[in-house]
Amino acid sequence: MPVFQAILFDFDGVIIDSEALHNAAVAAAVARRGVSVPDALFEEFMGTPDAALLDYINRRYWGGRYSVEELLAEKQAAFLEVADQVRPIPGALEFIQKARPHFRSFALATSALRANQQLIFDRLDLHRFFDAVVTADDVARPKPAPEPYLLAAERIGLPTGACVVIEDSLNGVRAGKGAGCQVIGLTTSLCAAQLTEAGADLVCTSFEEIAAHLLRPSSSRELQSLLEDR
């Protein structure tokens, strides 16, 4: 049995390959008003709700002239036009199926809107694997604040120290560490050095590598010892 009792998953960039589609939808929504979003801004806000990025763009470029709710609705409409292009991260679904019997609980802590999370969960038949889901609609202080992971752990009835987080973004790593979880960084969006600098306790390049650390009892104990020594 693994040392950790639960895995708390991020969603975009960990379970599904959707970051580029969300970014394109944001770009399309603001381009109508004459703004081109720098790539560096998408990286800075990666892992946070789209509303946070749109609020920043609204204040930075338009002096707060527009309603963030209106901008978010336009972004959402653009995303839904391409949502059928969302694909799972390689190995993610296989890992979830294989790992689920080894853990007391699985939870999701995502900056996605609940509507988008449910859409993809329905499509990929993920509801049956997760005991709790926390979305952007559920929190007042999203990532990089720890609230999403604190709430996810609360909903499954476990202390955060019994949970390991899988994250791909700097803001997500910071949120997981701030909540008191051990964090595995997955290099689907950023390089290992960036995730380590943000505070990831371990960085993996694939779900196969994560499985090697989490699913074998001896490896799990070694991982726990490694993480406690950090």
DSSP string, 60-85: HHHTT-S-HHHHHHHHHHHHHHHGGG
106 forms bridges with which residues in the sheet? 7
Please tell me the number of Cα atoms within 13 Å of 50 on its side-chain side. 29
Residues 96 and 195 occupy one common structural domain: yes
9 forms bridges with which residues in the sheet? 108, 166
In a domain, residue 1? The reply is: no
| CATH number of the domain bearing residue 215 | 3.40.50.1000
50-56: Cβ within 8 A, 24+ apart: 50/22, 50/26, 50/75, 50/111, 50/113, 51/136, 52/142, 53/26, 54/26, 54/29, 54/30
Residue 222, pLDDT score: 56
Domain range enclosing 52 = 19-84
Residue 224, pLDDT score: 58
Share of the chain above pLDDT 90, in %: 91
Q: List strand residue ranges (DSSP E) for 2-63, in order.
A: 6-9, 16-17
The DSSP letter of residue 206 is: S
| Interatomic CA distance for residues 146 and 177, integer angstroms | 8
In angstroms and rounded to an integer, the radius of gyration of the C-alpha atoms of the chain is 17
pLDDT band with cut points at 50, 70 and 90 for residue 129: very high
Phi, psi of 183 (to 5 degrees): -125, 130
Q: Is the pLDDT of residue 204 over 50?
A: yes
pLDDT band with cut points at 50, 70 and 90 for residue 85: very high
What pTM does this model have?
Answer: 0.91
Q: Is the pLDDT of residue 1 over 50?
A: no
- Boundary of a domain, candidates 62, 84, 106: 84
Q: What is the pLDDT of residues 138-195, one digit of tens each?
A: 999 999 999 999 999 999 999 999 999 999 999 999 999 999 999 999 999 999 999 9
Point out the least confidently predicted range of 196-200, 203-207, 212-216: 212-216
Q: What is the pLDDT of residues 89-115, one digit of tens each?
A: 999 999 999 999 999 999 999 999 999
**Tally of domains in the chain:** 2
Residues 94 and 68 occupy one common structural domain: no
